[in-house]
A and B are shown apart, each in its own frame.
Chain A
């Protein structure tokens, strides 16, 4: 009875085992055993892509960051601006229209060349802008905008929050000096779990 209910994986495992039994050499046996392991292993990955994880981080930061009162009045829209070609493969577009607490989030694509990024509450700089993200940060000055990016060195060179891929996970770095200059506030529990905090 049990035999009938065997899944395709188990059936395949049986075929492999029988092949292994016929082959004498240790090497073939080893390779077969290892393929078997590969076939029979369970699903364990979380199934989110790196870009989706980064977008989820951004959504969380939007909940935690506190803007100055004149920048964000109650129930007003939070504007998330994106600079860069195909930033996070469009994963951020899914955030458009979601609520961050009492504030609805609106996503807007901007062009690097016009630099009209003032008025954005959040600014995500895609990795296509690696060459000139410093120019964007310079143009932004001390505007009350939380800048985020997955460009390497982003936080180290003055960006607000950098998202980094390390050991198959996504971690984040914060440049506290830049956050303070922008007049923003991040709760200390967020800083405590950051992988690195510059300008503490």
Chain B
């Protein structure tokens, strides 16, 4: 009954939303023609500096010359979406699946295989990888910065191995923060609401010497726990304190230097079960897990007398987890060099080398045990890529390859060829074939994980389920073919369509081993699950469409739709594989500049159902709205309501463990207010 009502109100609101929109459009049609542009010769520089760019012709981040399924989330997009975390901001990109598991965890991927440890999407923040080699994937609740300091997020779907290296199998996300010179002065943000219980951030930027700039920032937040399907609060709250700095120094036109770093402490509520082999079994209790981290990046970018450019970057990153299931300290040291040169006008040549050292020490628990528990290892690689202009401004061919050597898996060769055809300035067609690898994680090669216990009528004791390591794993490989078409139909309307076909071999999955029965010291039965390379090839195909329509100077629609199909015969060992990503996803945004001070944003998302055995999630539609008012330049009050359609909805089940008590939490309806002042 409750659901019925929600559905009804959702459909109601939806139809009115569309009706209102359509009517607004018909009326607005004539309005655009009313204004006449002033002659550009008559405007002074002072006037030009104050002039708002009519939004219809806002510079669409120049993607028309990219031979890849690329999308840029701008600072403006992030601000107007009301996103308070990086995972939420990623919902803006077409083709990226973002499903929230609980108040502090997300399952994020591109082109299928979603999960808490989705491992085929590489994520970098200012050139520093945040992809963990311990379990392959990203701990999204550790990745943060002041949202206002993000300049843009580059989202590339499809393999990006040549430029970014291994694990960029299904996509790459590059989070790029502003330069220190663009964050001068002070910024204060604060707010709160029912889920966002409270947050605050402060940033100060200033000048050093002649051409140097710096900024320092600090932020903190606390997020309320989610609720169970029966409406009870879970223990999954999320708290964070983080600070950081960035210094950009410009030595001359030819040499620039950047040093930046962050330090943070995150605490997340967690519900765990002691995985004992004697009664009582599977009793859940609440704990607080903690992560402390710090990183320091230094980057030297320069140009040489022949007009070629180089970047030398080194960073150090440390994370300490203190958790019931596993405590781990990880140090990562990375050094990277890239050189871009132009031997003649039709070649744009890049090459680079990279070296990384990773050391991690774990404190084993009854749930997860690493053998050895401490390991330091190296990985390195080199790439070369040539961008060849075949016909000036019309046809371009890009050839490249990366060779990588790692402690886990073997040497990986990851080649790529792309062709871009731009017959004119409004149409572009591209095609690409590439091969990329996902290196086995240390977890898959060296850890035993107790996944839980299962009761059977046949045995007096429950069966223990264990995931066992496999030191001989090969890397996962994908062969991917993509084709894309981008069109600027008019100054106000553009579309972007991409189709892909991915063929995966050696996918690393758990497969069932033989039951093992122990009689001493106590009688116990274990069902081992072993990480193995799948011998069969798995194919995914999909299509991603996005459109941007600037109906009027003050009104804009953006929308996208993704279709994904996983083709694979039923496999009793891995029945879940095909159902972890929805077949259909879509989003529609409506942005209205009510007047020069007031902005309204509405976003509707639809996600199709998940139908895996341990991951059955019904389809859902959500609606977010944000109203912002800027009384004076630099000061903004905003009110954000999220997931308005239903009191709560399920996005992804926490299926980290087998046959344990269901910890599934649902995303509640939420509202928060925010004040932002830059001075």
A46 in contact with B16 (CB, 8 Å): no
- A112 and B52 in contact, given A9-B27, A190-B45 (Cβ under 8 angstroms): no
B16 in contact with A19 (CB, 8 Å): yes
A43 in contact with B34 (CB, 8 Å): yes
Chain B window 534-551, contacts with chain A (Cβ cutoff 8 Å), 1 for yes, 0 for no: 000000000000000000
A177 nearest CB across to chain B (Å):
6
Counting CB contacts under 8 A, is A170 at the interface? yes
B58 in contact with A168 (CB, 8 Å): yes
- A193 and B46 in contact, given A137-B307, A157-B253, A166-B182 (Cβ under 8 angstroms): yes
Which residue in chain B gives the minimum CB-CB distance to A111?
B392
B51 in contact with A85 (CB, 8 Å): no
**B53: A residues at CB distance < 8 A:** 48-50, 53, 165, 168-170
B27 in contact with A169 (CB, 8 Å): no
**B88: A residues at CB distance < 8 A:** none
A51 in contact with B57 (CB, 8 Å): yes
- A23 and B16 in contact, given A39-B27, A199-B211 (Cβ under 8 angstroms): yes
A12 to B29, CA, bound (A): 13
Which listed residue (A15, A32, A98, A111) contacts B41, Cβ 8 A? A98
Which residue in chain B gives the minimum CB-CB distance to A27?
B13
Counting CB contacts under 8 A, is B24 at the interface? yes
Counting CB contacts under 8 A, is B280 at the interface? no
Which residue in chain A gives the minimum CB-CB distance to B45?
A60
- A28 and B13 in contact, given A15-B23, A38-B600, A49-B57 (Cβ under 8 angstroms): yes
**A19: B residues at CB distance < 8 A:** 16
User: Can you list 21 pairs linking A and B with CB atoms under 8 Å apart?
Assistant: A25-B9, A27-B644, A28-B13, A32-B20, A34-B600, A45-B52, A48-B54, A50-B57, A55-B40, A56-B41, A56-B43, A94-B40, A113-B392, A127-B62, A131-B387, A132-B307, A135-B342, A156-B250, A157-B254, A157-B303, A168-B55
How many residues on the B side are at the interface (Cβ–Cβ under 8 A)?
A: 78
Chain B residues 23 to 58 lying within 8 A of chain A, measured CB to CB, are: 23-24, 27-28, 30-31, 34-38, 40-41, 43-46, 48-58
Chain A residues 30 to 71 lying within 8 A of chain B, measured CB to CB, are: 30-32, 34-35, 37-39, 41-53, 55-57, 59-60
B37 in contact with A41 (CB, 8 Å): no
B592 in contact with A38 (CB, 8 Å): yes
Which residue in chain B gives the minimum CB-CB distance to A156?
B250
A121 to B247, CA, bound (A): 36
B contact face: mostly helix, strand, loop, or mixed: mixed
Which residue in chain B gives the minimum CB-CB distance to A175?
B253
Counting CB contacts under 8 A, is A128 at the interface? yes
Given contacts A12-B24, A85-B425, could you give 20 more A-B pairs where the C-beta distance is less than 8 Å?
A9-B27, A16-B20, A28-B9, A34-B602, A35-B20, A37-B592, A37-B600, A38-B554, A38-B555, A45-B554, A46-B51, A47-B54, A48-B37, A53-B53, A60-B43, A113-B346, A132-B348, A150-B59, A175-B253, A178-B253
A contact face: mostly helix, strand, loop, or mixed: helix
A131 to B318, CA, bound (A): 35
Counting CB contacts under 8 A, is B515 at the interface? no
B526 nearest CB across to chain A (Å):
53
In the A-B complex, the 3 residue pairs with the smallest Cβ-Cβ separation, listed nearest first, are A49-B57, A35-B20, A158-B253
Chain A residues 75 to 102 lying within 8 A of chain B, measured CB to CB, are: 85-86, 89, 91, 94-95, 98
Counting CB contacts under 8 A, is B553 at the interface? yes
**B50: A residues at CB distance < 8 A:** 169
**A39: B residues at CB distance < 8 A:** 23-24, 27-28
A27 to B669, CA, bound (A): 13
B337 nearest CB across to chain A (Å):
18
B595 in contact with A44 (CB, 8 Å): yes
A127 to B596, CA, bound (A): 29
> Contact residues of A with B, CB < 8 Å?
8-9, 12, 15-16, 19, 23, 25, 27-28, 30-32, 34-35, 37-39, 41-53, 55-57, 59-60, 85-86, 89, 91, 94-95, 98, 111-113, 127-128, 131-132, 134-139, 150, 156-158, 165-166, 168-171, 175, 177-178, 190, 193, 196, 198-200
B48 in contact with A42 (CB, 8 Å): no
Which residue in chain B gives the minimum CB-CB distance to A12?
B27
A30 to B308, CA, bound (A): 56
B30 nearest CB across to chain A (Å):
8
A175 to B53, CA, bound (A): 24
A49 in contact with B54 (CB, 8 Å): yes
A95 to B345, CA, bound (A): 29
- A135 and B54 in contact, given A43-B31, A53-B48, A190-B45 (Cβ under 8 angstroms): no
Counting CB contacts under 8 A, is B3 at the interface? no
A8 to B23, CA, bound (A): 11
B163 nearest CB across to chain A (Å):
14
A35 to B28, CA, bound (A): 12
**B292: A residues at CB distance < 8 A:** none
**A38: B residues at CB distance < 8 A:** 24, 554-555, 592, 594, 600
**B43: A residues at CB distance < 8 A:** 56, 60
**A46: B residues at CB distance < 8 A:** 51-52, 54
Counting CB contacts under 8 A, is B232 at the interface? no
B256 in contact with A156 (CB, 8 Å): yes
Which residue in chain A gives the minimum CB-CB distance to B591?
A38
Counting CB contacts under 8 A, is B328 at the interface? no
**A50: B residues at CB distance < 8 A:** 53, 57-59
B550 nearest CB across to chain A (Å):
11
Chain B window 1-29, contacts with chain A (Cβ cutoff 8 Å), 1 for yes, 0 for no: 00000000100110011001101100110
B62 nearest CB across to chain A (Å):
6
Which residue in chain B gives the minimum CB-CB distance to A38?
B592
**A27: B residues at CB distance < 8 A:** 9, 13, 644
**A127: B residues at CB distance < 8 A:** 62
Which residue in chain A gives the minimum CB-CB distance to B346?
A113
Counting CB contacts under 8 A, is B593 at the interface? yes
Chain B window 390-429, contacts with chain A (Cβ cutoff 8 Å), 1 for yes, 0 for no: 0011000000000000000000000000000000010000
Which residue in chain B gives the minimum CB-CB distance to A150?
B59
B59 nearest CB across to chain A (Å):
5
